[in-house]
Amino acid sequence: MVSRLRRFVLIALCGLTLTLSPAFSADRSIVVASTTSTEDSGLFGYLLPLFTAKTGIAVKVIAQGTGQALDTARRGDADVVFVHAKAQEEKFLAEGFGVKRFDVMYNDFVLIGPKADPAGIKGKDIETALKAIKAREAPFISRGDRSGTHTAELALWRQAGIDIEAGKGPWYRAIGQGMGAALNTASALQAYVLSDRGTWISFKNRGDLDVLVEGDKRLFNQYGVMLVNPEKHPTVKKDDGQAFVNWLISPEGQAAIAGYKIDGQQLFFPDAHKKGS
Partner 1 sequence: MADDSSAWQLILAGDPVLLSIVRVSLAVSLSALALASLVGLPLGAMLALLRFPGRGILVVLLNALMGLPPVVVGLAVYLLLSRSGPLGAFGLLFTPTAMVIAQTIIIIPIIAAPTRQSVEDFWHEYRDELTAMGVGPIGRMMTLLWDARISLFTAVLAGFGRAAAEVGAVMIVGGNIEGFTRTMTTAVVLETSKGNLPLAMGLGIILVALVIAINAVVWTTRTWSERQAG
Question: How many amino acids of this chain bind partner 1 (CB under 8 A)?
Answer: 43
Nearest to 126 by CA among 266, 220, 223: 220
| Shortest spacing between CB 20 and partner 1, in angstroms | 5
Q: Applying CB under 8 A, does 205 fall inside the site for partner 1?
A: yes
Smaller CB distance to partner 1: residue 168 or 233?
233
What distance in Å separates the CA atoms of residue 204 and residue 240, rounded to the nearest whole number? 35
List, in order, residues 6 or more apart from 249 with CB less than 8 Å away.
Answer: 102, 103, 104, 225, 272, 273, 277
227 in Cβ contact with 241 (< 8 Å)? yes
The answer to the question of residue 75 lying near partner 1 (CB under 8 A) is yes
Residue of 7, 10, 15, 135 that binds partner 1 (CB under 8 A) = 15
Distance of CA 25 to the CA centre of its chain: 28
In angstroms, how far is the first alpha carbon of the chain from the final one? Answer: 74
Contact status: 61 vs partner 1 (CB under 8 A): yes
Q: Note whether 174 binds partner 1 by CB under 8 A.
A: no
Apex 38 CA angle, 215 and 101, nearest 5? 85
- With respect to partner 1, which residue has the nearer C-beta, 129 or 236? 236
CB of 75 to partner 1, least distance (A): 4
Residues that bind partner 1 (CB under 8 A): 1-2, 4-5, 9, 12-13, 15-16, 19-20, 22-24, 31, 36, 39-40, 42, 45, 58, 60-63, 75-77, 177-181, 183-184, 187, 202-206, 233, 235
